[in-house]
Structure 1
Amino acid sequence: MTLQVPVTPEEESQTSFVDEIEEEYERVRQTLKEVSLMLEQSQSEMAKLTQRNATITSHLQQVQAQFDTMPRMDIKIAYNSALEAQQRLLVMRGQLEKLQNDEESLRRYLNLLEKVRNYLAQDSRAHGNSRVAISNRPASLEMVINAQEAERQRLSRQMHDGPAQALSNFIVQTEIVARLLDVDQERAKEEMANLKNAAMSTFKEVRTFIFELRPMMLDDLGLFPTIKRYVESFKEQTGCDIHLTIKGSERRLQSFLEVMIFRALQELIGNAYRHNQDIPGKLQITAGIHLDDVVIKVSVADNGKGFDPDIMDKTGHLGLNLIRERVELLGGHMEIDSGTGRGTRVTFQVPVLEAES
């Protein structure tokens, strides 16, 4: 009689996850093979079109030399052939460039999946389990939890120092107004006006906190209008010189990708401001987004005091490390260019995942 070892829901979920990784790996590997084959065929076709274009260009030079004596119909045919060849060459170049970008992105994604497979396989051997188990190392989970707690502490502190303190003052001011109504109505009107201004200011603060927690326009309008609004709001609140550039066709992306990119930009811009408030001169921040058919590239640079990236790797920077991990999980990569006294530039790119229509 064979003893059946019961499978826990956690183990079943882990096994399902491993199966999904294997299926995704095979799918991406097959897709990469097909794209590589199409790229090879396109390169061959490109070589033929380039040769044909060179021949037609040579023929055009002969036509120009005999322009006065050659029949108009022959001239028209020659120029139409040249125009058609150039258009086909232009289209093929665009297709070739897209295939090259697709192949590069697929290779990066496949490499990431390969690392995940190896990671799971090593952890399985370490646990001595035939079912591939997910590693119980808590580093990533700890990083996410710490980041969430740090953000909650920051918001809690801001709420205490801002709206909570203001509401306490409102109570005192209303009591003052109530007493003044019977003895000095003009003074009471002034206090009411002050109370109204304070309430409007507090209302703006609360709206800012809500926007930072989860901007509703991110769901309604998408990533790019939300980023533009955030940058304008940040500029008004801090007086910081910040410039935003967006290149490419603005369109809706997958919801989780829009959230990830917005949070990353929010963190990077906030870091640039928080760590450089004491620099001599005015802080300048430039943010850029470049979106094409394959990847979305994001960069944030400042003219601040900078830091040593090697020290950051040793000591750890919660926000930057969390951004890096999320970027790599999406099949992208991130780079940090900084040094003491020469500012900082952080760039990352991830594959484009457009929202379903």
Structure 2
Amino acid sequence: MVLPPPQTKEFHDRIVALEDECRAELDQSTQSTNEIALLLQKTNSEVEKLASRELQFSNRVRDMEMHLDNYSREDIRDLFTNAHEIQLRLFMMRSQAEQLQNRQQHIKEYQAKLHLLLDLLALQANSETAAGAGFGAPRATPLIATPGTQVLGESNVMSIIEAQEDERLRISRQIHDGPTQSLANLVLRAEICERLIDRDVEEARQELVGLKAMLNASLQDTRRMIFDLRPMIMDDLGLVPTVRRYLVALSRISKLQGEVSGPEQDIGLNTTIQVALFRFLQTMLAALMAESTAEHVNIQVERQDAAAVLRIEASAFQGERSAVEERLLDPDSHFQHRVKMLNAGMTTEQRTNRGLCIELTVPIPAEAVL
């Protein structure tokens, strides 16, 4: 397609037509996104039900293997057949959910490109008006203003909404994989105890001891999850003591050891920015634990005039340090979205003795300073 010369009425009309096409494509993609979100919600709901049933059948199979004398040959065959069917359906539904998520991500990327194109078209229209083209008022991308804040563009609003939805998805998965599965196991364990009471009191007593241990472990896991979601002690103790307690909790479930240094109480920042800094540290530590096995970390929190500096020095790596860097620098990750939204800057440096230093500098808004 040959474009007409710039600064002509034909060029302006072509820009306006292209803008209308982009908005129509954006509306259509938004409708597709809503439809996929509905399908994904139904699929995830079905996956949760199947996962719960699969867990129940797995526990029944284990119970059957421990008490084969109590099951007939037909019962054994039916139990294995049903368990296999549930596993197959669960695999198919999870594959479908993954396909829907990939399609949803592709549409979001396409929408981001459309938003960028609309912004460029609006800039072109503004430049024509400033140059005196006079071919009509520009139709710039609408802006959204919130009381007491700066004006936000559509792309920024979409980024905020996507960040919120990603966080909700993370929380729902964490609840599903944690307390929900634990409760299902506890229910099945209680059913086993109920059956054993009339047959073997001693074995039932042993099962109750195991049930008590499972309850205690589930309680600790729930407390750990609540701490990960929103550490309440930050309001009372501050950022550095909260990070120190989080590191102690990590050391109980892994071999990671370390120290935390920084302002102990008054860091001079409101709770919102302190939680954001804690999330950054939490994500960086998670990347270290997921991609490698570091024996020791040194966490430093520094408060400068207009920024906060977070530094993690890890040593004695047992994995590839580049994998940690790639995970944190992934432009599509939720971590990088937060980094961009706060205009933060991150650097990594590989050091001797298989060490790695990760430093994040976060600008502090004036309204966040106490």
Q: Calculate the TM-score normalised by the size of structure 1.
A: 0.52
Deviation track 1:2-30 (CA, whole Å, cap 9, x = no partner) reads: xxxxxxxxxxxxxxxxxxxxxxxxxxxxx
CA RMSD of aligned residues (A): 3.9
Give the equivalent residue in structure 1 for 2:308: 296
1:172 aligns with 2:188: yes
Bigger Rg over Cα: 1
Instruction: Tell me the CA shift for residue 242 of structure 1.
Output: 3.1
Kindly state the Cα deviation for residue 132 of structure 1 after the two structures are TM-superposed: 8.8
For the structure 1 residues 175 and 311, does the alpha-carbon distance in structure 2 shift closer, same or farther, using more than 3 Å as the test? closer
- Which residue pairs with 2:33 in the alignment? none
Superposition deviation, residue 306 in structure 1:
2.8
Is the counterpart of residue 343 in structure 1 residue 356 in structure 2?
Answer: yes
**1: distance between equivalents of 2:124 and 2:267?**
40
CA gap of 1:166–1:253, structure 2 versus 1, over 3 A, is: same
Give 2:342's match in structure 1, choosing from 310, 319, 327.
327
- Tell me the equivalent position of 2:275: 259
Offset of 1:168 from its aligned partner?
A: 1.4
Alpha carbons 2:301, 2:311 under 8 Å: kept: yes
* Cα distance in 2 between the residues matched to 1:206 and 1:193: 20
Distance 1:123 1:172, change over 3 A: farther
Look up the match of 1:43: none
- SS of 2:308's equivalent in the other structure is strand
CA contact (8 A) 2:299 2:311 kept: yes
CA deviations over 1:225-263 (Å, ceiling 9, x no partner): 322221211222222133322257634521221121111
> Against the structure 1 CA distance between its residues 323 and 173, is the aligned structure 2 distance closer, same or farther, given a 3 Å change threshold?
same
Distance 2:357 2:299 in 1: 12
Report the counterpart of residue 22 of structure 2 in structure 1. none
Partner of 2:230: 214
> Contact conserved, 2:288 with 2:324, CA < 8 A, in 1?
no
CA displacement 1:27-68 (0-9 Å, x = unmatched): xxxxxxxxxxxxxxxxxxxxxxxxxxxxxxxxxxxxxxxxxx
Identity %: 24
Contact 1:337 1:346 in 2 (8 A): yes
- Decide whether aligned partners of structure 1 residues 255 and 161 sit closer, same or farther in structure 2, where only a CA change above 3 A counts: closer
Point out where structure 1 has 5 or more consecutive residues left out of the alignment.
1-118
Segments of 5+ residues of structure 2 without an aligned counterpart are: 1-119, 128-136, 144-150
Aligned in 2, Cα 1:274/1:154: closer, same or farther, shift over 3 Å? farther
Q: Distance in 1 between matches of 2:253 and 2:178?
A: 14
Secondary structure at 1:206 match in 2: helix
CA distance in 2, matches of 1:243, 1:268: 15
How far off its partner does 1:142 sit?
Answer: 4.7
Deviation, 1:201, is 0.4
Task: Give the counterpart letter for 1:128 in structure 2.
Answer: P
SS of structure 1 residue aligned to 2:322? coil
1:280-319 correspondence to structure 2 within 5 Å: 282-291=294-303, 295-303=307-315, 304=317, 305-307=320-322, 316-319=331-334
Aligned residue in 2 for 1:61: none
1:128 is aligned to 2:143: no
What aligned pairs does 1:1-357 form with structure 2 within 5 A after superposition? Answer: 125=126, 128=138, 133=143, 136=153, 138=155, 140-247=156-263, 250-251=266-267, 253-277=269-293, 282-291=294-303, 295-303=307-315, 304=317, 305-307=320-322, 316-328=331-343, 333-338=344-349, 343-351=356-364
Q: Would you say the 8 A contact 1:267–1:319 is kept in 2? A: no
